[in-house]
Amino acid sequence: MIKKWEIYDSNEQKVKEICEKYNLNKIIGKIIVNRNVTSDEDVRIFITPTRDDFHDPFLFKGMDIAVDRILQAINNKEKILIYGDYDVDGITSTTVLKKYLQERGGIVNTYIPNRLNEGYGLNKEAIKKIKEMGTDLIITVDCGISGIEEVKYAKELGIEVIVTDHHEVGEVLPDALAVIDAKRKDNTYPFNLLAGVGVVFKVIQAISIKLNLKAEEYLKYLDLVCVGTISDIVPLEGENRTIAKLGLMLIRVTKNLGLRELIKSSGYKEIDSNTISFGVAPRINACGRMGHEEEALKLFLAETKEEAVEVTKKLNEYNTLRQNTEKAIYEDAVRKIEKENIENKNSIVVGGYNWHHGVIGIVSSKVTEKYYKPSILLCFEDGIAKGSGRSIQGFDLYEGLTKCSEFLDKFGGHAMAVGLTLIKENFENFKDKFEKIAEEANIKEMVPTIYIDEEIKLKDISMDLVKSLSVLEPFGEANKVPLFLIKNLKIDSIRALSEGRHLKLSLRDESVVINAIGFDIGNLAEEYKIGDKIDVVGTLEINSFNGFSSIQINIKDIRKSY
C-alpha cells in the first residue's frame, strides 16, 4: 500500500529557543515543537513534570458535592458500591477508588458488568442486584454518563448515584447527585482528556485535600492510574503526561503485588509505556474480552504474592486464548474478504458464525489496518448480527451508521470505532447501504499519512542521539515514537525472517552501515535486491544481543530512491 510521507514544518526560531533554554539538541527540540508543545510552561511540564503540576480537583463541576457525600457515607458506615468497566481503565479505576476508600474506613463493594452477557455501562438488572445487596451509594467509574434511565431507576429504588466518567456527554446529564466529567458542556476544569482512572485520581485527590491528608495518600496510586491512562490510549499530553511520567517511575518500585507479578510474567525487562501497552494492557483486557472480568480486579487487589502469582497465571491463559481466538477469526475474515473480492470495495462488511463477541473489535482493527478501509465485522447468532467496526482518518464511522439506521437495532461509538446490532435478515441491505455511503466519501482515494519528525543522514545517528530520545518518553497517543526519514541508502544485505513475516536489512550510506528490521513486511524481500537504493522511514532503537548493543532502524515504510 502506497503511503503519503509528510515532514513536519517546524518553527525554527521556537526550536532554537527551546534548545537553548533546556540545553537540548536540535532534533529533540524539533520533535517537542512537532508535538505542539511550545510555551515555556508546557515545555517544562513535558520534560520534567512534578506533583505540583496537577490542577485543583475542585475545579470539576460537582466535585465538592461528591466529596461531601462520600465522606458522609464513610462516617455513617453506609454501603458504597463502585460500578466499573471491564477494560484496563475501568479495572484500575475500580481498584484505586476501592483501596483508597477502604483506607478511609469505607464499606466498599464493587460491580464489574460481564462484557458478553451485560455489555458496557450501567444496566437495570445489575442495579436491582445492587439494591438487594443493601447498597446506599453507587459511584460509577469510567462509565455512567450515558446511563440516563439506569440512574433514574437507581434513584427510584432509593440508591443515590455519583457519576465519574470521561466519555462524551449527551444532550442530557444523568440525574445523579453529582456528575464529574470534564466533557460536560458547562465544564470548568482546565483539562478534559483524562481517562476514567484520571477522573478517579482527581476524586481521591479532592478527598485528601478535604481531609487535610498528606499528598502521598493519593500520589501512591499513580502506578495504577498510569496503567489505566496509557492503556486507554488517551492523549499523553497535559495532565495525562504528568500522570504517565510520574506513574512510570512509581511502577518501577510498585508495591502492588498483582501489577509487579504481571509485569514480571510479561517478559519485559524495561518498564516504559511500551511495557504497559503491550505487556500489561492486553492481559488485563483479555479477562473482560473472554468473560472473566473479576479476575483482573482480583489481581490488583491481591494481598499475598501467592494469590498474585495464581491470578497472573490465569490472566496469561486468558490472553493466550484471546490471541488464538483472534487469530482464527482474523484468518476466517480475510478468507471471506478475498474470496468475495470485498477488498476491492470502498468498505469491508463481513459476518461469520461462532465469532467471539469479545475479540471481534480487535479483528476489525486489524482488517482496517490491512486494507485501509472502514471495516465492520459481525457475528451471526440466533438470527441476530452483533459486532464492531473501525475506521480510517477522514471517514466518520458513527455518522455512516447514522445514515443506515433504518437497518440497525442499535449502535453507538464515535468517528473511529463503533458497536452495532441488527437483525440478520437486514445484513445484505445494511451492507449495500453502507458501501454506497463509503463510495460517496471517496474512500479509495484516501491513503494513510506517515508524519515524519526529521530527515537525517546515517552519519548523524549516534548512540548518544538514540539515548537522548528518552527525554521524550512516555510515548503514546499524541506523542508517538519519533519517525525519521533517511534517503539514498544502499542495500548491502536483505532477507526475510520468521517464515517470511519480517524483513532484515543491512543499509549503507558511503562508509556508514546500519542494520534495519521491518516487522510484517517480509514480502518486500521479493521486491528489493542487494545494490538497490532506497528511502526509509522508521524509528531509531538500540538492539542488545549477547551483551553487544548496536543501533538499528525499525522500518515503518520503504520505497525506492529517485
Residue 237 lies in a domain: no
Q: Are 208 and 63 contained in the same domain?
A: yes
Residues 233-277 have pLDDT tens digits of: 899 999 999 999 999 999 999 999 999 999 999 999 889 999 999
Number of domains forming the structure of the chain: 3
Q: Are 67 and 194 contained in the same domain?
A: yes
Residue 93 lies in a domain: yes
Q: Are 422 and 362 contained in the same domain?
A: yes
Residue 513 lies in a domain: yes
d(CA 476, CA 122): 29
Q: Are 412 and 525 contained in the same domain?
A: no
Q: Are 493 and 541 contained in the same domain?
A: yes
Q: Are 347 and 390 contained in the same domain?
A: yes
Residue 73 lies in a domain: yes
Q: Give which of 380, 437, 430, 383 is closest to 408, Cα–Cα.
A: 430
**Structure confidence at residue 26 as a pLDDT band (50, 70, 90):** very high
479 pLDDT exceeds 80?
yes
Q: Give which of 515, 514, 517, 511 is closest to 498, Cα–Cα.
A: 517
Q: Are 102 and 141 contained in the same domain?
A: yes
Q: Are 349 and 490 contained in the same domain?
A: no
Q: What is the pLDDT of residue 125?
A: 94
Contact 243, 222 (CB under 8 A): yes
Contact 525, 494 (CB under 8 A): yes
d(CA 141, CA 138): 10
- The burial class, CB within 10 Å (0-12 / 13-18 / 19+), for 147 is buried
Q: Last residue of a domain, which of 421, 445, 469?
A: 445
171 pLDDT exceeds 90?
no
Q: Are 551 and 421 contained in the same domain?
A: no
Residue 22 lies in a domain: no
Q: What is the pLDDT of residue 168?
A: 84
**Structure confidence at residue 544 as a pLDDT band (50, 70, 90):** confident
Residues 407-443 have pLDDT tens digits of: 999 888 788 988 899 999 999 999 999 999 999 999 9
Residue 287 lies in a domain: no
d(CA 125, CA 229): 29
CATH code, domain carrying 171: 3.90.1640.30
Residue 302 lies in a domain: no
Q: Last residue of a domain, which of 180, 213, 246?
A: 213
What residue numbers bound the domain in which 95 lies?
57-213
The helix/strand count (H/E) of the chain reads as 20, 18
- The burial class, CB within 10 Å (0-12 / 13-18 / 19+), for 86 is buried
Q: Are 351 and 420 contained in the same domain?
A: yes
Task: Please tell me whether the overall predicted TM-score, pTM, comes out greater than 0.85 for this model.
Answer: yes
**Other beta carbons within 10 Å of 170:** 10
Mean pLDDT confidence for 7-22? 93
CATH code, domain carrying 479: 2.40.50.460
Q: Are 422 and 456 contained in the same domain?
A: no
547 pLDDT exceeds 90?
no
Rounded to 5°, the CA angle 468-471-473 comes to 120
Q: Last residue of a domain, which of 391, 414, 445?
A: 445
Q: Are 206 and 61 contained in the same domain?
A: yes
In order of 229, 473, 475, the CA distances from 50 in angstroms are 17, 15, 18
Residue with cell 495518600: 217
